[in-house]
Every structure is written in C-alpha cells, then in structure tokens.
Amino acid sequence: MKKYGVNELRQMFLDFFESKGHLVMNSFSLIPQNDKSLLLINAGMAPLKPYFTGAEIPPRTRVATCQKCIRTGDIENVGKTARHGTFFEMLGNFSFGDYFKHEAIAWSWEFLTKVVGLDENRLYPSIYEEDEEAFEIWNKEVGIPAERIFRFGKEDNFWEHGAGPCGPCSEIYYDRGEKYGCGEPGCTVGCECDRYMEVWNNVFTQFENDGEGHYETLKQKNIDTGMGLERLAVVVQDVDSIFDVDTICALRNKVCEIAGKTYGEDHEADVSIRLITDHIRSATFLISDGVMPTNEGRGYVLRRLIRRAARHGRLLGIQGQFLEALSCQVIEGSKDGYPELEEKKDFILKVLNNEENQFNKTIDQGLKILSDMEAEMKAEGKTVLSGSDAFKLYDTYGFPMDLTKEILEEKGYSIDEAGFQKEMEAQRKRARESREVTNYMGAEATVYDEIDPSITSEFTGYNKLTDTSKVTVLTTEKEIVTSLVEGQAGTIFTEKTPFYATMGGQEGDTGVIYTENGKFKVEDTIKLRGGKYGHVGTMVSGMISAGEEVTLEVCAQGRFDTCKNHSATHLLQKALKTVLGSHVEQKGSLVTPTRLRFDFAHFQAMTAEEIGKVEELVNKEIQAGLEVKTQIMGIEEAKKTGAMALFGEKYGEEVRVVSMGDFSVELCGGTHVANTGAITLFKIVSEAGVAAGVRRIEALTGNNVIEYYKNIENQLHEIAHTLKTTPAEIEDKISHLQKEVKELHSENESLKAKMAQDSLGNVMDQVVEVKGIKVLAAAVDGVDMNGLRDLGDQLKEKLGEGVVVLASGNDGKVNLLAMATQGAMDQGAHAGNLVKAAAQIVGGGGGGRPNMAQAGGKKPENIPQAIEKIPELVANQLK
C-alpha cells in the first residue's frame, strides 16, 4: 500500500466524490455563520446545517468537503496523550435528499479499498443493531461475511441530538495489527485500545424524533459522513499517532529542533511538544479566519491556546519568541489545501508575535508569583488558590484563569473559580464607573504625554477625504502599544491625515482607518500639542500595527454637513452685523454635522422681525452662489482685507483667510463648502440669552432644514388627523369648531336657566305658612352653590316675602342655602341661624348673615330630614 501524505489523501477524497457527481466546496470558516449555538465549527456537517434542515437550498444535492474543525472539549488532555488534539480536518460527503444507504456504503468501501488501497481483510463495518437494511447492503451487495459485520447499540451507532432529524450510522474500522492491541482476550472491533481504529462514519438521517421518543420517517433522507483526515493518514502511513503523520510530524520536529529535544525520550517533554504542535495549528487557522486574541468567546479560545503554547515553550526551556517559526511550518504544511494561510501569512505572524510578546513580558514574573503563591498555600496547608490571587495573575500578568488552573492542577491544587468571577465582575463595575466620571480628555492626557514630542501630523483634508499614510504611534487608553487588535479602544496617529480635528468650534471628523487586515472606527479626531492629530476610536476587526501603511477615510456625509454648517456661521455673523449693528461680535461657536450654534454680543432679545431679516439675508447669499475662497497670508495683510478675527485670539504669522464673495471675510482654519449654494437652506430654530449681554442662535442648514420642516409637516398631519380634516382645511375647521363651541356654550346657558325655571315651578307647590310667614324649603338635585344662589334669588322674588331654604346633594356632599326677606327678618327670621341648625342634620356646619347664609354637609341621605325640620326651626325664630 502506498503511504499517501495528508495533502494527497485530501485531494484523493475530493476528486473521488467529484467523480461521483458531488460539488466540491472549500472548507467553511471556523467562525460559524448565522449560528449562535456554536462557538467554533466542530464537524464537517456543522456549516451545512441549513441544507440539512431545509432552511436553505444547497447549491447541489451532493456535496463533498474537507472542513477545518476545532474542538476544545478535551483541551486538558491535549499533549498528555497522543490521541487528543484541538485541530483536525474532517472529510465528508453529503446527500441532501439525493442518494441514500446503497450508494453511501458502496462508495465508502470503494474509496478505502480501491482508491486508498487499504486491505479489505482488515476492514470491519459496524451497523446499528436494528438496521437490517444496512446489514443487507454490507452482506449482499458489498459481500462482507455476516460474522465480520458488528452490531452495536444506540450509544455507539445511532446519531441523535435531542429532538429533530436522527438516524442509525455505520462505521468502518481498520485493524492496525497486534502491535497496537491491548492483548486482552476480548480485544476486537469496539475495543478501547488503539488496534481497531474507526476511520469512517456514515450517518443515515432517516427519522425525525419528536423529542418524546417517537420516530417518524423523514420525507427527505440525508447522508452525512465524516472521516478524520489525520486518522486516515495514521492508518495509511501506518504510524503510531496523529503526531506522526507526515505534515504534523514535520511540525513536531520543528518544535523539537527549537527546543533542542528529541521526541520520545522524556514523557514530560513529549507532553509539551505535542501540546505546542497541536495548539499552533489551531492558532494559525483561527487567525487566518479573522479571530483575534481577546478575553471573550472565540478570542479567548485563541488567547488561551497561544498562552498555553507559550508557557509550554518555557517548560521546554525555550527562551523568547518561538511561535512564528512554528506557524510558518503550519502554513508550509497546509497551504495546499488552504491557500488563505499563505495569503494571510504576514498578518497571522504579526498577530501571533503581538500576543506572544505581550505574554512574554509578564510570563516569567507571573510564573514566579504563582510559585510564591503555591509555596504560601503549602505552608498554610491550603489546596485552593483564592479568587483574588487568581485574578491578580489574570489582571497583572495576563494568565487566563484556565491556565492558572491547569498549572495548579498539575500539582494537585485547585482554584476558587467563583471568587475569581466575583473579582472579574467587580473590575467590570469599576471600569464602568470610571468611564462615567472620568473626563475623556483628562483620562487620555497621561498616555498622550508619553508620545515622542517630535512626532507631528500633516493635515491633508481641506481638499480630500481619503489619504494613505504610515502609522507613527498607537495607544490604548492606558499605554503606547505596537499594535491595536479587535475590540480594543485607542488612538491612532499617522504622518498625514485627511481627518479634521476638533478646533475653532468645528467638531472633529469621524470615519474609518483600515488595512487589508484591520479596521478601526474613528469616533473623534483630536489635536494634541505639537500638531499631532489623534484618531480616537475602536478596532472593529483584525489588527493595525505601528509602521503600517493605512488608508484613512473620512465619513463624507458627516464632513459635508459640517462644512455647510460652518460656512453658514460665517454668513450668519455678517448678517447679524448688518441687521443688528457692528457691535455684534462672535463669542463662541459650535459646528457639528447636525446643527450650528453661534454666540454673540448683543444686549436684548432679537425681535421676530430681526430674526426674519437675518434668515432672509443669509438665504439670499446662499442663493447667490458665492464662491468660497481660502488664502494663506501674513497676519498684517489679512487685517487689511477687513477679515473678521476673534478678539483675544492668538494668530500665527501666517493665517488662513476664508472669503465668500464680497459678503464675508474671516480668519478661519475650518472646512467649508466650495460655493455657498451648497448650503441650500438656512433656518434659525432658536434665539436666547446665555449670559449677560450674550445671545445664542441655534440654526440648521441643508437637509437638516428639510428634516425640520418634515417634522413640522408630520405634526400638522397628525393634528389634521385628530381634527378629521386635511392640513389645508385646518384653519376653517378650527374656526368652525370655535363657532360651534360658542354656540354650545350659549345653548348650555339657556338650558341651565330653563332647568332652574322648571324646578322652580315644582317647588312653589311646597310653600307653607308658618305664623303668617311663607316658608319654602326644598331639595334640588345636583346644583352647585352658585346655582343654588341663582335659584334662591328667583324663588325669593316669586315668594314676595318669606324664607327660602334650598338643599342639594352633590357627589356625597351637601350644599345648603337660606335666605330671608326684610319682612321675614323683621319678624325674627335669621337665615344664618337657620342654615346652622339645618347643617347639623346633614353632618356639617356653617352660618352667616340674617338675610343670606350658606353651609355644607357630608350626609346627603339626611337632606329630607333637614327639609322637613325647616318649618319648625322657622317657627322657633319668629316672635
């Protein structure tokens, strides 16, 4: 049998299935796409899931791939044995409702025996014990004797993952010979030892599990096969383990060469050699797919792999950086199947070096601290490292918690993980709080102070928005660094930049800085001492390093809107001087993409007429399409042009003069439109006082004015909608409504009068005579005190002479009113005393003058009682 290499076997497999009508697809990225259930691709079928579930239509119903995979579930065992690894390649042929068991079994056999040339007498298929269909195919079609076909139960030969598609599988084992066997009497296919190695697994997805153990036969049956490429190579090359197959062996030898060790001499050293060999493969492939070392998710996996490898390098006695040379070997060994490794080589090496360097700075110190901690634990008889110590190693020395845990476990210690997480959370909280209270510029001040003062930046952005330049300095929020990586916030300095930095009231530009391998989002641009332009923001992907050539791209829309607003402030200043007088002087300004603010000296609020005139004047100059010219000239010459300058502002020898036609001339370093016509529109939205003698105008230009009017228009439509009319008819509608309200009001008044009149008619029947005085006591419903008084006056008039008492219940309250005419008073009647006595009955109090009095109460249910009592009370008053 020919001992094919890993790269040959990969190609043979893909070619074979291409000849069987399969579409050969490139390996998918290790980063799952649209699949949040998975951190990293861990099987050949994982990226094809949407085709299996029917969520997406496959490009062909037969597909074959060689997929790069990473599994970190067994990471603790990597190195300790020769069986485990985190990185592997998986060969697979897939059928999406196309061929099924017959073809899948036949082709797997054909490939292993005819193409690769494995000895058929050493191959043993296994099936799920109830899968007679598969048995028949192996037995009758392929011709394997029944006793060579092994039947296994559900755990081994039924592929199932909770509810969903599932089915039996059929594996193919290869007998590697007695030398790999355990020698136990029962050693055969399925034994745990290394003799019978599973090389192929056919999964027949034919059922749908409803989650309660009921299996329905699927309409679309799928084939999902998997074969570890490295494992196949172990069999084909007849070597001990995956660490001995051609490409991986070359890498392993490279590790030995750098460490000055021989593989197989010392167990401890072998553990480290295997671990480094495996981890550098995973790390190299992860970086090529765009994963960056960070403290979370995939990034953490990568960081842990790199730092574990770096630490095991130390255990082997390697000093300094060594991962780059190994990564080069990985690329050399795998570029045939994965050309992206070669294309991204520079980037991969840079990321690796950066991460290794960062860790190298502290690793020795960290290991020393950790061994001190161990000694202390030993002395105190403790076996658990405190969360705060583990956190210190993480925070100060860059030891991922899992790394500390591993190092300790080697010596029988453990770690207080809950305590560590608590410290982590506390740090996150501190970071959040400090962000809230620390002044942005203040926080940055220290790191910027460390930058070489001779470094400066040239601004090239007056006439262009994109430029290329070299990175001079990079900083995080805390320190100067050689590289910024994904997720990091920081500042980038370049030799040249088209980004305008916040100055003279104009806000700094935003945009992006990028290379082929990294992208930085610029959130602000600031100017520092010595003419340095700092681009402040965050790395959104990849890495950018000092010395690299980068492309700087200003957000064009933001810049253009800012220019409109800035040019408009110049027109505004001149218009204010024209309308209000020459005392108007700029006191401050702010120009952003969305608005402009202009503060100026003036002693009273502007009238609506003045505001209107200023707007009109500015808009007239916008429509005139004045050319905006900038000139650099000596300060004296500039003054002769009549340029408006800020009082008290220091200007250099050379100044920039911005003029707009003959209308405005100002000293200004800002960015402007080329022609005032570009501003399109100008609108003042507010004018107010901000300090004694200082007014502030806020205004909009261009699309922001349109947006402003759009909002007003929307409001108008909403009002019209509420009024059930159209905007054009709102005025008519409102005057109509006003008229209607007026009419209703007067109608209401006359109804009220009529109601009172009606109740009047009825109550006149209730007049009684007490000792010759007419007494009218009556209850009326729901009338307030004013109503009672009106009613009382009318009744009194009707009565001629006498006493009137009215009571009304209203929402659980009682209003009482009593009136007495002069004639009644002459005979002793007293309205005040009368109402006082009646109020007691309805649970209240009150009183008043003899002729008129009112009172309140809380018991409306007692009103009839009170009314009944009135004649008696009056009788008692009369002489």
Structure tokens at 740: 């209607």
- What the block records as the tokens of 293 is 């070392």
Choice between 562 and 759, CB closer to Zn ion: 562
CB of 504 to Zn ion, least distance (A): 6
* 234 or 770: CB nearest Zn ion: 234
Q: How far is the CB of 638 from Zn ion (least distance, A)?
A: 14
Contact with Zn ion (CB under 5 A): which of 1, 163, 182, 875? 182
From 18-26, 553-561, 668-676, 744-752, span contacting Zn ion (CB under 5 A): 668-676
Choose the stretch contacting Zn ion; rule: CB under 5 A; options: 184-192, 235-243, 596-604, 835-843.
Answer: 184-192
Q: Which residue lies nearer to Zn ion by CB, 670 or 787? A: 670
**The only residue of 47, 537, 670, 787 in contact with Zn ion, by rule CB under 5 A:** 670
Stretch that binds Zn ion, among 24-32, 192-200, 479-487, 730-738 (CB under 5 A): 192-200
For residue 538, the cross-strand partners are 489, 521
Please state, in angstroms and rounded to a whole number, the distance separating the CA atoms of residues 785 and 735. Answer: 34
Return the number of the residue (48 or 628) whose C-beta is nearest Zn ion.
628
CA distance 269 to 259: 10
Task: Output the CA–CA distances (angstroms, integers) from residue 606 to 257, 600, 620, 687, in the order listed.
Answer: 84, 12, 20, 7
Beta-carbon contacts of 506 under 8 Å, excluding residues fewer than 6 positions away, are: 500, 562, 566, 591, 670, 671
Indicate the residue among 179 and 219 with the shorter CB distance to Zn ion.
Answer: 179
CB of residue 591 to Zn ion, shortest distance in Å = 8
Burial-class residue 299 by CB neighbours within 10 Å (0-12, 13-18, 19+). middle
What's the closest the beta carbon of residue 176 comes to Zn ion, in angstroms?
Answer: 11
Shortest reach from residue 702's CB to Zn ion, in Å = 17
Minimal distance, residue 96 CB to Zn ion, in Å? 38
Q: Measuring CA to CA, which residue among 152, 224, 236, 158 is closest to residue 197?
A: 236
Distance CA 38, CA 118 (A): 35
187 or 369: CB nearest Zn ion: 187
492 within 8 A of 484, measured Cβ to Cβ? yes
Name the segment binding Zn ion (CB under 5 A); options: 181-189, 479-487, 596-604, 611-619.
Answer: 181-189
Find the shortest distance in angstroms from Cβ 569 to Zn ion.
Answer: 6
- Binding to Zn ion by residue 785, rule CB under 5 A? no
Strand partners, 407: none
User: Please, which residues have CB within 8 angstroms of residue 302's CB and are 6 or more apart in sequence?
Assistant: 282, 283, 286, 287, 291, 292, 293, 294
Residue 57 engages Zn ion in binding (rule: CB under 5 A): no
CA 862 to chain centroid, in Å, comes to 68
Report the run of H or E that residue 222 belongs to, with start and end.
strand 215-228
**Contact window for Zn ion (CB under 5 A) among 660-668, 723-731, 790-798, 847-855:** 660-668
**Closer by beta carbon to Zn ion, 673 or else 814:** 673
Q: How many CB atoms within 10 Å of residue 335?
A: 15
Least distance (Å) between residue 193 CB and Zn ion: 3
Which region among 527-535, 664-672, 690-698, 823-831 touches Zn ion (by CB under 5 A)? 664-672
Establish if 193 lies at the interface with Zn ion (CB under 5 A): yes
Q: Which residue, 13 or 600, has its beta carbon nearer to Zn ion?
A: 600
Structure tokens given for 413: 């210690």
In the complex, the smallest distance separating the C-beta of residue 628 from Zn ion, rounded to whole angstroms, is: 11
Applying CB under 5 A, among 191, 258, 756, 767 the residue interacting with Zn ion is 191
Rounded-to-integer distance, Cα 21 and Cα 466, Å: 49
Q: How far apart are CA 350 and CA 544, in angstroms?
A: 9
By the rule CB under 5 A, 848 interacts with Zn ion:
no
Residue 178 CB, shortest distance to Zn ion, in Å, is 10
According to DSSP, the β-strands at 532-545 and 518-528 are antiparallel
Could you tell me the CA-to-CA distances from 401 to 89, 276, 386, 417, 488 in Å, in that order? 29, 19, 12, 8, 20
Q: Is there binding between residue 668 and Zn ion (CB under 5 A)?
A: yes
**111 vs 129: CA distance, rounded Å:** 25
Scanning residues 583 to 612, which ones bind Zn ion (CB under 5 A)?
Answer: none
CA nearest neighbour of 225 among 102, 108, 68: 108
Residue 300 or 651: the one with the smaller Cβ distance to Zn ion is 651
Name the segment binding Zn ion (CB under 5 A); options: 36-44, 108-116, 520-528, 669-677.
Answer: 669-677
**Of 182 and 688, which CB lies nearer to Zn ion in the complex structure?**
182
The residue type found at 546 is: A
The structure tokens listed for 560 are 């253009």
Give whichever of 504 and 625 is closer to Zn ion, judged by the CB atom. 504
* Contacts (Cβ under 8 Å, ≥6 apart) of 337: 7, 10, 11, 27, 66, 89
Of 184 and 523, CB closest to Zn ion:
184
Is the distance from CB of 78 to CB of 88 less than 8 angstroms?
Answer: no
- Which of 198-206, 295-303, 400-408, 662-670 is the region at the interface with Zn ion (rule: CB under 5 A)? 662-670
Closer by beta carbon to Zn ion, 225 or else 671? 671
In whole angstroms, the minimum distance from the beta carbon of 155 to Zn ion comes to: 18
CA-to-CA dists, residue 648 to 583, 585, 587, angstroms: 16, 12, 11
CB 278 within 8 A of CB 300: no
Q: How far is the CB of 675 from Zn ion (least distance, A)?
A: 16
568 lines the binding site for Zn ion (CB under 5 A):
no
- For the record, the structure tokens of 15 come out as 């070619």
The minimum distance between CB 671 and Zn ion, in angstroms, equals 9
Q: At closest approach, how far in Å is the CB of 566 from Zn ion?
A: 6
- Residues 871 and 868: their CA atoms lie apart, in Å, by 7
Nearer to Zn ion, 181 or 290 (CB): 181
When the beta carbons of 223 and 668 are compared against Zn ion, the nearer one is: 668
Region binding Zn ion by CB under 5 A among candidate stretches 78-86, 173-181, 387-395, 747-755 = 173-181
Asked if 187 is part of the footprint of Zn ion (rule: CB under 5 A), the reply reads yes
Write down the least CB distance from residue 192 to Zn ion, Å.
Answer: 7
CB-CB contact of 780 with 806 (8 Å): yes
Residue 56: both structure tokens together: 């997406």
DSSP structural state of residue 67:
E
Give the separation between CA 518 and CA 534, rounded to whole angstroms.
Answer: 18
Closest CB to Zn ion among residues 638, 668: 668
Size of the site for Zn ion (CB under 5 A): 7
CB of 251 to Zn ion, least distance (A): 29
Per CB under 5 A, residues contacting Zn ion are 181-182, 187, 191, 193, 668, 670
